[in-house]
């Protein structure tokens, strides 16, 4: 089969590769569409610690059809069109994934549409669930112009939260308003919003994380689910102690830590 590898320079190259064989609890998927997110940028820059390294095949989300089912898969999804979350290997004609990280694709949907929602929607939903974001609460989304941020904005708004978004782009801000954001904050400006929030969904981290922790209301919840802005450094978490009297909660949320098909993420929303 054909596959795409990352070279040590970060460039991609198409190569011939052996077809993977599903092991126990795994399925083989014929790939129709792959998802590309910020993780893929980090992989190519050599910044993603979990990627095996140069010469390996990236790709953590695909849509395609299950062609082979390995041993010990209780509910065999043979022949089904699915969204699959492999542990890399997705930039290829075929990829293996654990059967409990494979979801049926709705009939009649376009493969590219399904994979666009894929990880973005699972992380956005998981983060909001973990924080227990509720109707009527004020939610701030950092990195709102990105894949996860757009979905977090839409899901929080659809559940009745009042959503403020942070973005660097006026055009993305207008688009986010159309998708339900009540307020848009320009992250390139000097001032942070002079408001406080019940929930912050943060896909950016970086040196400004601490300033955003300061924006939590009493009993507020901060969900860190990405680091597009880099590492925050330990001092960024100081507001958790200086605001101890207000009982702030910091959650981290990664899809890697759970089997999204079978386990709801534990948290306030359980
Ligand atoms: N938790 C999980 O399981 C999980 C799963 C997949 C990905 N992730 C992580 O989540 C993060 C976002 O992923 P994504 O695919 O949504 O990324 P994306 O589509 O590239 O969007 C990231 C957004 O962050 C903003 N941003 C980028 N650099 C920034 C900086 N230095 N300071 C402030 N804002 C910045 C940008 O928005 P504006 O320019 O509009 O401000 C950009 O649109 C990544 O770190 C990724 O690794 C986590």
**Quick one: how many helices (H) and strands (E) in the chain?**
6, 13
pLDDT at residue 262 in the model: 52
Q: Could you tell me if the CB of 265 is within 6 A of ligand 1?
A: no
User: Which sign does the torsion angle of CA 267, 117, 39, 37 carry?
Assistant: negative
Token reading at 189: 């400006």
CATH number, position 242: 3.40.50.720
Residue ending a domain, among 72, 87, 109, is: 109
Q: Are residues 194 and 129 in the same domain?
A: yes
Distance from chain centroid for Cα 248: 23
Q: Could you tell me if the CB of 119 is within 6 A of ligand 1?
A: yes
Q: How confident is the model at residue 189 (pLDDT cuts 50, 70, 90)?
A: confident
Q: Are residues 130 and 103 in the same domain?
A: no
**What proportion of the chain, given as a percentage, has pLDDT over 90?**
89
Token reading at 243: 């605001």
Whether 230 and 206 have beta carbons less than 8 Å apart is answered as yes
Q: Could you tell me if the CB of 48 is within 6 A of ligand 1?
A: no
For residue 242, give every residue at least 6 positions away whose Cβ sits within 8 Å of its Cβ, in sequence order, or none. none
Q: Are residues 125 and 248 in the same domain?
A: yes
pLDDT at residue 240 in the model: 95
Q: Are residues 105 and 124 in the same domain?
A: no
Mean pLDDT value across residues 163-189: 96
Token reading at 106: 């709705």
Q: Are residues 39 and 144 in the same domain?
A: no
Q: How confident is the model at residue 168 (pLDDT cuts 50, 70, 90)?
A: very high
φ/ψ of 186, rounded to 5, equals -85, 115
Distances (CA, A) of 132 to 13, 144, 151, 221: 43, 19, 16, 8
Q: How confident is the model at residue 39 (pLDDT cuts 50, 70, 90)?
A: very high
Q: Are residues 14 and 92 in the same domain?
A: yes
Q: Are residues 144 and 190 in the same domain?
A: yes
Mean pLDDT value across residues 148-166: 98
Residue from 43, 143, 184, 204 whose mutation best tests the ligand 1 pocket (most atoms within 8 A of CB) = 143
Q: Are residues 181 and 226 in the same domain?
A: yes
pLDDT at residue 173 in the model: 97
146 part of a folded domain: yes
Ligand 1 centroid–CA 41 distance in Å is 10
Q: Could you tell me if the CB of 232 is within 6 A of ligand 1?
A: no
Ligand 1 centroid–CA 140 distance in Å is 15
262 part of a folded domain: no
pLDDT at residue 29 in the model: 98
Residue ending a domain, among 109, 128, 152, is: 109
Look up the domain containing 78 and give its range: 2-109
Ligand 1 centroid–CA 253 distance in Å is 14
Q: Are residues 203 and 129 in the same domain?
A: yes
CATH number, position 47: 3.90.180.10
What are the pLDDT digits (tens) for 75-126?
878 899 999 999 999 999 999 999 999 999 999 999 999 999 999 999 999 9
Q: Using CA positions, which residue lies closest to atom 21 of ligand 1?
A: 146
265 part of a folded domain: no
Model-wide pTM > 0.95: no
Q: Are residues 130 and 245 in the same domain?
A: yes
Ligand 1 centroid–CA 230 distance in Å is 10
154 part of a folded domain: yes
Whether pLDDT at 215 is above 50: yes
Cα gap 238→225, rounded to integer Å = 19
pLDDT at residue 259 in the model: 67
Ligand 1 centroid–CA 76 distance in Å is 35
Q: Which residues pair with 66 in a beta bridge?
A: 29
User: Between 89 and 267, where is the model more confident?
Assistant: 89
Q: How many structural domains are present in the chain?
A: 2
88 part of a folded domain: yes
264 part of a folded domain: no
pLDDT at residue 270 in the model: 47
Q: Are residues 145 and 192 in the same domain?
A: yes
Ligand 1 centroid–CA 108 distance in Å is 30
230 part of a folded domain: yes
Whether pLDDT at 267 is above 60: no
184 part of a folded domain: yes
Q: Could you tell me if the CB of 167 is within 6 A of ligand 1?
A: yes
Pairing, β 81-84 against β 102-104 = antiparallel
Q: Could you tell me if the CB of 169 is within 6 A of ligand 1?
A: yes
Residue from 50, 85, 204 whose mutation best tests the ligand 1 pocket (most atoms within 8 A of CB) = 204
Residue ending a domain, among 82, 109, 136, is: 109
């Amino acid at each position: 089969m054909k596959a795409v590898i990352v070279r040590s320079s970060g460039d991609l190259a198409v190569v011939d590769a052996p077809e993977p064989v599903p092991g126990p609890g795994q399925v083989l998927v014929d790939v129709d569409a792959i998802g590309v997110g910020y993780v893929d940028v980090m992989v190519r820059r050599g910044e993603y610690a979990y990627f095996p390294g140069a010469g390996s095949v990236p790709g953590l989300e695909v849509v395609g059809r299950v062609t082979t089912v390995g041993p010990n898969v209780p509910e065999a999804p043979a022949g089904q069109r699915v969204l699959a979350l492999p542990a890399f290997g997705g930039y290829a004609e075929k990829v293996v994934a654990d059967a409990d990280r494979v979801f049926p694709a709705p009939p009649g949907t376009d493969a590219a549409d399904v994979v666009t929602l894929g990880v973005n929607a699972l992380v956005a939903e998981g983060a909001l669930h973990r924080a227990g974001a509720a109707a009527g609460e004020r939610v701030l989304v950092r990195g709102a112009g990105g894949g996860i941020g757009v979905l977090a904005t839409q899901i929080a708004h659809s559940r009745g939260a009042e959503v403020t978004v942070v973005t660097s782009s006026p055009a993305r801000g207008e688009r986010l308003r159309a998708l339900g954001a009540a307020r848009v904050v320009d992250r390139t400006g000097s001032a942070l919003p002079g408001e406080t929030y019940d929930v912050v969904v943060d896909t950016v981290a970086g040196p400004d994380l601490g300033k955003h922790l300061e924006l939590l209301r009493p009993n507020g919840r901060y969900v860190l689910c990405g680091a597009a802005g880099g590492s925050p450094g330990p001092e960024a978490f100081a507001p958790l102690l200086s605001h101890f009297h207000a009982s702030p909660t910091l959650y981290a949320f990664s899809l890697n830590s759970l089997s999204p098909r079978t386990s709801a993420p534990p948290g306030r929303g359980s």
